[in-house]
Chain A
Amino acid sequence: MVNDMKILHLYYDIMNLYGEYANVSAMHRILANSGIECTVDRLTIGDSAVLSEYDFIYIGSGTERNQKVVLDDFMSYRAQLREYVSSGKAALLTGNSFEMLGATIEDAKGNRFEGLRLFDFKTKEQSKTRNTADAIFEADFLSRPLVGFINKCSETEGVKAPLFTVKMGLGNKDGDQAEGVRKENLFGTHLTGPVLIKNPYFLEYLAGIVAGGTKLSTDHLEYERKGYEITLTELSKLIGHL
């Protein structure tokens, strides 16, 4: 069975803190290897995408300043994005990009920016300490934990349906065991970088949603799986020290 599918990498040239583009490459490859015809559109500020045309939307992490510039543009997608999410289609927002979906973001100087209000949570930034950490998260929908890295200066408060449970690393706010946010098949996490490359099991899960009934071919993920096991082992050694 061959379907035509479309992936949208939104704000690809400005929300790209650290190799985030690879998340889109990973999704594209697993779909293509499974026999699904698949194209990728890379769009940015001012490009006026029609979200309903897409089967998977990805936005990566950005600097605090870039996030505010993007937010101004992203606001225009509010109604479209609501519709996209309630239709059950898949989207992944990593790093501080998912903060834009909340009620407000307050920067370190106290300026308050309106979010898209798909959720009620609020985010507050500070400029004193960079909160960085290797992370291990668990999810009730995955048999294996996630590995990755957090790099932020914000706390997010009021998330009602978090995505992950923190085993190591940082949650939505200080001391919080809950991380990220989920609504239907929209996934938001503060993990940065190529999350779907580092986590082949999460990739399979997410690609499964995107692919619908089509069976996925995952033979090409051999090195991803080996790399994942090593990283998980290395990070697990740390848990004892924490």
Chain B
Amino acid sequence: MKVIFTIIVCKLLRLFGKLVGKGSSLPGQLALKICPDILSRIELPEYIIAVTGSNGKTSTVEMIAHILTQNGKSVSWNREGSNQIEGVTTLVLSSCTLGKKVKSDILLIESDERFARYTFKYIKPTHYVITNLYRDQLTRNGHPEWVFDALKDSIYPETQLILNADDPLVSLFGWGKENVVWFGADKLSTDTETLESVYNDGAYCPHCKSRMTYSTHHYNHIGHYSCPSCGYHRHDTQYTVTAVDLDNGIAELDGKYRISLALKSLYNIYNILAAYTVASIVGIDGQKIAADMSDYVMKNGRVITFELGKRKGTLLTSKHENSISYDQSLRVATQCKEGCDVMIIVDAVSRKYFTSDVSWLWDIDFEMLKSENIHEIILSGTYCNDLAVRFGYTDIPAEKVKIIGDIGEAADHLDSDRSEYIYVITCFSDKQKILARVKVNGE
């Protein structure tokens, strides 16, 4: 009776929450208070697919849900991105019947990486995707190895691991295990022989701590690594990006499926690859997946095109406190052949908690903006001085860089007769501050 009561309370709260536009973690939080082991009392579907990692989880989950529903599967997933145990509880209880059964074919869970061990104590995923482990929000997360240790406790022997073979730390979860599905990229035309990054988190073997070598880098420390000392190495992949053409926005999967890219970044390709891997395992035909992913524009609002006066631009939502996320966005700007201006805003470091820490700015490879197609660079927000100091330690000519602390004034400055395309690079916490000053396309 208690279980059914809890389900009803959660469903009602969720309904009410939706009406008043409240977040999706509160109903689950209350449900867990009423019945702490509620998650283990619900009958779950055959497929329980979990996705975690530093970057790309929300996008990957959205893509998986899109492909599966396009192909006739019913999917319950945490689309609001409440990814700790409370949000997952809301998801499960709102998707289940009063007969205590989740109706959908597939339960798809985006999980926070540090708290996965609490969520999966009750719900054991049948399939578990780990996308990557980067320096991400270190003010909360400590560092990638600390997150690795926390995540390790959320993995059970019966769970099918689906791992990014190109990430040396993620791959350690599968080292020595038989039953692992590996995804990754072959040597690509966009690869570099040497590392292009401010730091090298692949310098030392995560297994034995001897120095590692790379035969190719896809980006940062993501690539084909091996440890001459203990033999740890990048695993062969079952699901593979076999070629990319970023200029024309094409990715090729497993040598046979061509996907036209809505966002021309390797980052996006990895998310597509992870989604392709999961959908293939569920039994969807590769050709169909490729069709569903072609020109797929994310609905999670992370890439937004806009107009500012006579000028056009794109906002690339990047994560503050996450240098690889920034590097990827900066790379998109450097690939703009026609030439562009770039605006970087750091106003509130986080929307969820307060910190004044800007150490992460020093891990971002801003140097790449010295590329000739980047014309003007605008630095804005409360931490514009810290950005200015950071740029002062690059070879970018000072006359290219303008420091305008007030975001409104910076927008006014951009609203000029210049014809260059504008890329705005900032975080969830700050994006509304600029979007309020522009005309968002499609609104």
Residues on A lying within 8 angstroms of B by beta carbon are 13-14, 16-19, 21-22, 25, 29, 63-66, 69, 127, 130, 132, 134, 147-149, 151, 153, 192-194, 197-198, 220, 223-224, 226-227, 230-231, 234-235, 238
Contact = CB atoms under 8 A, between A and B. Distances in A.
Contact of A231 (B200, B356, B360, B388): B356
Q: Size class of B's contact patch?
A: 35 or more
A43 to B, nearest CB: 14
A231 B362 CA distance: 16
Contacts of B357: 134, 148-149, 193
B305 to A, nearest CB: 32
B355 A149 contact: yes
B208 to A, nearest CB: 10
Nearest to A127: B149
Contact of A227 (B138, B140, B141, B385): B385
A13 B203 contact: yes
B404 interface: no
Contact of B383 (A14, A22, A230): A230
Given A21-B362, A63-B144, A127-B149, 9 more contacts: A13-B200, A18-B135, A18-B362, A19-B359, A19-B361, A132-B138, A149-B355, A192-B359, A234-B382
21 contacts: A13-B203, A16-B199, A18-B138, A18-B143, A19-B198, A22-B393, A29-B393, A65-B209, A127-B149, A130-B140, A151-B138, A153-B142, A153-B146, A193-B362, A223-B386, A223-B388, A226-B385, A227-B385, A231-B358, A234-B382, A235-B356
Contacts of B203: 13-14
Interface in B106-155: 135, 138-146, 149
A153 B146 CA distance: 10
B142 A19 contact: no
A65 B139 contact: no
Contact of B143 (A14, A63, A148, A235): A63
A66 B209 contact: yes
A130 B386 contact: no
Contact of B354 (A65, A198, A223, A238): A238
Interface of B: 135, 138-146, 149, 198-200, 203-204, 209, 354-363, 382-383, 385-386, 388-389, 392-393, 403
B201 to A, nearest CB: 9
B72 to A, nearest CB: 44
Given A224-B389, A227-B383, A234-B382, A18 B209 contact: no
A149 B360 CA distance: 12
A101 B75 CA distance: 55
Nearest to B382: A230
A69 B204 contact: yes
Contacts of A19: 198-199, 359-363
Contacts of A64: 145-146
Given A21-B362, A230-B385, A147 B143 contact: no
Nearest to B391: A223
A151 B360 CA distance: 13
Contacts of B144: 63
A223 B146 contact: no
Contact of A149 (B198, B359, B386): B359
B143 A151 contact: yes
Contacts of A21: 198-199, 362
A64 B383 CA distance: 30
B385 A22 contact: no
A197 B389 contact: yes
Nearest to A226: B385
A130 B142 contact: yes
A130 B385 CA distance: 29
Contact of B356 (A132, A134, A223): A134
A227 B385 CA distance: 5
A235 B363 CA distance: 23
B151 to A, nearest CB: 13
B221 to A, nearest CB: 12
A128 B354 CA distance: 22
The 5 A-B pairs of least Cβ separation, nearest first, read: A19-B362, A193-B359, A227-B385, A130-B142, A226-B385
Nearest to A17: B143
Contacts of A197: 362, 389
A18 B360 contact: yes
A25 B394 CA distance: 11
Given A18-B363, A223-B392, A63 B383 contact: no
A19 B357 CA distance: 11
Nearest to B357: A149
Contacts of A16: 199
Contacts of B403: 223
Contact of A14 (B142, B204, B358): B204
A63 B145 contact: yes
Given A19-B361, A194-B362, A227-B386, A234 B356 contact: yes
B362 A223 contact: no
B168 to A, nearest CB: 14
B351 to A, nearest CB: 15
Contacts of B209: 65-66, 69
A134 B362 CA distance: 17
B326 to A, nearest CB: 12
Contacts of A134: 139, 354-357
- Kindly name the residue among B146, B356, B361, B388 whose own CB sees the greatest number of chain A CB atoms within 10 A: B356
B45 to A, nearest CB: 34
A227 B389 contact: yes
